Chains A and B, each alone.
Chain A
Amino acid sequence: MPVGSVIEFSNITKTFGSVTAVDNLSFTVEPGRVTGFLGPNGAGKTTTLRILLGLVAPTSGTATIGGIRYRDLPRPLQTVGAALEAASFHPGRTARSHLAVYAIAAGLPAARVDAVLGTVGLTAHGAQRVGGFSLGMRQRLGLAFTLLGDPGVLVLDEPINGLDPEGIKWIRGFLRAMADEGRTVLVSSHLLSEVQQSVDDVIIIAGGALVHRGTLSSLETEAAPRILVDSPDRAALAAALSQAGIEFSTGRTGLLAAAADPTQIGHLAFAAGVELSALHRQRKGLEDAFLALVDGNGNGNGNETGGESR
């Protein structure tokens, strides 16, 4: 069974001309866990992953896998499996030939090709040219390439894009199983909701810089507490809140008060003689916490991969 290694980014900076795509980014990714690498489109996720894989040279800083830079790995495909966003296939090559080319380059036995085609459920399409593949099938072929060397480290860039619901369910189980086997799993997404069911840790970047790292549940506590309160006489309730100096906003189902304790609001209403029809702690979704973190940081920093080619 392949063993996962620690991925380490230290002080990675990448500029494309005057645009800073990645700004002094440092974090580690641990084996045995699924780590979500999150941020809005253009936050620098793809550039960061490509730097890790030696495809893009950082302006400064180093990215290593088990302490070794990708280009110095003696057996790269057997160490790290990567599936990047862009579908990188020659359309005239069959799925099996596509994998066979890289199996030869990496010195892997031909049997691995059929094994990984089976793992991703493409056995029946192995002899088909990739040009005729649907987006979902291309994603699966990309995953097959990832698994070719049975690596201990998996790096997946937006793997859920383009998958049908069945495929999404499959990949969630797959990520979980990989991490449970002790592998390191780093999976990027611009939507927290897409991966929140499968990740243990989150690393959130915006504008190329780290804005949050920790366990998934650490996100929840980051969110500012709020109390939802409503009354048949909203105007009176609003007046009472204002008088007590509590900030609030008007929501569809009531007033959202910036307070931590519902009993404080309840007492305040009772003292003011305002009847209440609702009073509870507002559970801010993880997605809201995520959006709050990346808001204001994610704009104006250009495209994710520099965007100057293509």
Chain B
Amino acid sequence: MTAFSRAIGAEFAKIGTVRMWWVLAAVMFGYIALLSGGLAALFAGIESGAISPDAAGTGSQGLAGFGSLPPLIYSFASSIGYVFPVLLGALAATGEFRHQTLTPTFLANPRRSQVLGAKTITLFVVGAAFGVVALLASVGVGALVINAFDVDPLLGEPDTWALIGRTVVAMAVWSTIGVGLGVLVPSQVASIVIVLAFTQFVEPLLRFASLFTEVTRGIGNYLPGAASDALVGASFFNLAGPAGSASEMLEWWQGGLVLLAYAVAATVIGYFVSWKRDVT
């Protein structure tokens, strides 16, 4: 085995030997399953006529202008669930600082860029696995509920499977963004606060605000969450925006590249800010 594959093996062992990964995966599954199932029931109920639009309070137009329901529900895997791989990645990086395990890590492998590269690749793979778990929740539970209301879950459509595949990629990249953030902000508490505040509050607010003018709308598309939604190809967020803004997203591949750029930028800057520095 080469030193690099050994380094990757060690990073997998680090994640596998601590309980964090499955605690996060379990919470993520429950959270997405609840939201996907609940909203699928609500909207499928409206679409099938089982629930009157007036009773649901969405106005008489229902989902008109959003296209079909299933992709929206399936995209919850990443549009709601992306915070979990980010947290996992950030914890994997900041944990090394917090528990001072950088010392044995760099003693066993003094090539620090190699260690960071191995950690990034490992978290990419684990993030992809998180994507699969998230999709089991959003597609698995969502399709069951949609089907129960006699609405077509579109599982035979190639577009649906493209969305599923791109969701896995998005979740994998989010996980590496977490690693980048963790080396950029090695304080674990600060990192977690940034992840939660940004993903749950700051970015949604910025995205919503950016939709009101032409200029800011273009800029808003480059926010990481917007780029992620563009990559996946559907977004719950469009529900909240002013009508007609749904078509303004980046192309899926552009979104993917923007997201990847965030990951690379954070990791490279973090390498110089913290990873390369003295371990005392």
Interface residues of A (CB under 8 A from B): 46-47, 50, 53-57, 70-71, 73, 76-77, 80, 82, 84, 86-94, 97-98, 100-102, 104-107, 145, 305-306, 309
Contact = CB atoms under 8 A, between A and B. Distances in A.
Nearest to A149: B108
Chain B: interface size category? 20 to 34
A105 B6 CA distance: 5
Interface of B: 1, 3, 6-7, 9-10, 13-14, 17-20, 95, 99-111, 278-280
A46 B10 CA distance: 27
Contact of B100 (A57, A71, A86, A102): A86
Find the residue from B1, B17, B105 having the highest chain A CB count within 10 A.
B17
A88 B6 CA distance: 21
A76 B109 CA distance: 7
B111 A100 contact: no
A88 B108 contact: no
Main secondary structure of the interface of B (DSSP, over half): helix
A77 B10 CA distance: 14
Contacts of A100: 13, 17
Given A90-B18, A90-B101, A77 B107 contact: yes
B108 A106 contact: yes
A80 B110 CA distance: 12
Find the residue from A71, A84, A105, A107 having the highest chain B CB count within 10 A.
A105
A98 B10 CA distance: 10
B185 to A, nearest CB: 14
A230 B145 CA distance: 101
A3 B111 CA distance: 24
Contact of A89 (B9, B101, B279): B101
A90 B103 contact: no
Contact of B104 (A88, A104, A305): A88
Given A77-B108, A101-B10, A84 B95 contact: no
Given A55-B106, A90-B95, A104 B280 contact: no
Find the residue from A47, A89, A102 having the highest chain B CB count within 10 A.
A102
Contacts of A56: 278-280
B104 A91 contact: no
A212 to B, nearest CB: 26
Contacts of B17: 93-94, 97-98, 100-101
Contact of B103 (A76, A84, A92): A84
A306 B109 contact: no
A92 to B, nearest CB: 5
30 contacts: A47-B280, A50-B279, A55-B103, A55-B106, A56-B279, A70-B110, A71-B111, A76-B107, A80-B107, A82-B107, A86-B100, A86-B103, A88-B99, A88-B100, A88-B102, A90-B18, A92-B18, A92-B19, A97-B13, A101-B14, A102-B10, A102-B104, A102-B107, A104-B10, A105-B6, A105-B7, A107-B3, A145-B104, A306-B278, A309-B280
Q: Which 4 A-B pairs have the closest CB atoms?
A: A105-B10, A97-B17, A71-B110, A105-B108
B186 to A, nearest CB: 9
A22 B104 CA distance: 23
B214 to A, nearest CB: 47
Find the residue from A76, A100, A107 having the highest chain B CB count within 10 A.
A107
Contacts of B6: 104-107
B131 to A, nearest CB: 25
Given A90-B18, A104-B6, A309-B280, A54 B13 contact: no
Given A76-B107, A106-B6, A101 B100 contact: no
